[in-house]
Structure 1
């Protein structure tokens, strides 16, 4: 899977987001610190574990690289679950990872969360009530619905 880099995503939002958009970069140093903290969890824990899980559980065999490594899969599933447990705690106090309004950090997760059923892992989200509500809110966004309606698998 191709993922544009976080700095590139931040640049595009800074350049093109409407002035009133909650997706724009934070204006205060405190808000920027909270944004960067949330982003660091995504790129240090969420993204690596789900990317490697997708490779092991789906793409490895498709690419002719052999069968999934069961030990690696178990370890990655544990790491992914720990990240979702962390998110569960964060989302117990607020609606989104960076506060009570959706931000770019939340949107970083959307493609992979949408991919979870292909990995037979949707239960990881469903078993965590706050993560489940967060994901439902993200799925309901008109922009995401538009992407899904235009996308053919």
Structure 2
């Protein structure tokens, strides 16, 4: 039975899961478009799957799963014998992947999301960015990226010499930072971070997701 993913290609969280499916070469998954504009995500049928009314949601038989990072982990484990070994090749590598996944969710994502909101979402609503909030989150994110720069000076990817869920999970929000929030200098100013971004953002899986989002 094919898994079904409910979401929207333009959603960063949905993009994380779509990229995971493509990296794992899951060719028979079904994609169910959720029309946020008409409030489909707030209707009882959707809330029965995701009580917070957010996308994406994955259904696999009698399993219903939400939260994009949890879904990506599930996909990587279910299909671990095919496609890209996103969890590495042994327990030690898996431990490093989990470590850097936590860094992404706890250290990178909060400041990155705050900056996308301030520099992209607020102007679209006719609101000016809050300068102090921007300043604080740029400083926080730069500290995180300095740690990344040191780590990536030793390895081409965050968890080691292999592309993993830890790298993949950075794709949607980094893309928003560079293109929507228009602050690419945070990445280009750091040689190894810049090379890493060029390396992961040109993977065929991510390029396919970007094509899906532009249709």
TM-score, length-scaled by structure 1: 0.87
Superposition pairs of residues 68-79 of structure 1, within 5 angstroms: 68-79=129-140
2:78 is aligned to 15
Cα displacement string for residues 97-132 of structure 1 (whole angstroms, at most 9, x for unaligned residues): 011010011000111222222212111111111011
> Which secondary structure state, in structure 2, belongs to the residue aligned with residue 93 of structure 1?
coil
Rounded to whole Å, the distance in 2 between the matches of 1:95 and 1:45 is 20
Higher fraction of strand: 2
2:91 to 29, 32, 55: 29
1:137 to 188, 199, 203: 199
Rounded to whole Å, the distance in 2 between the matches of 1:29 and 1:18 is 15
Q: Which structure 1 residue ranges, 5 or more long, are not aligned?
A: none
Tell me by how many angstroms 1:91 deviates.
Answer: 0.2
> Which secondary structure state, in structure 1, belongs to the residue aligned with residue 214 of structure 2?
coil
Larger Rg: 2
Task: Determine if the alignment matches structure 1 residue 5 to structure 2 residue 68.
Answer: yes
2:150 is aligned to 89
1:43 is aligned to 105
Q: Which aligned segments of 4 or more residues in structure 1 are displaced greater than 6 angstroms?
A: none
TM-score, length-scaled by structure 2: 0.64
Contact 2:88 2:164 survives alignment (8 Å): no
1:54 to 89, 111, 116: 116
Cα displacement string for residues 5-33 of structure 1 (whole angstroms, at most 9, x for unaligned residues): 3222101221235436221x345432232
1:106 is aligned to 167
Rounded to whole Å, the distance in 2 between the matches of 1:45 and 1:88 is 15
Judging changes above 3 Å, is the alpha-carbon distance between structure 1 residues 59 and 113 closer, same or farther for their aligned structure 2 residues?
A: same
Rounded to whole Å, the distance in 1 between the matches of 2:195 and 2:75 is 28
Rounded to whole Å, the distance in 1 between the matches of 2:170 and 2:114 is 15
Give the superposed CA RMSD: 2.0
Cα displacement string for residues 49-83 of structure 1 (whole angstroms, at most 9, x for unaligned residues): 1111111112134346x432111110001111111
2:181 to 113, 119, 136: 119
What is the aligned residue count?
Answer: 151
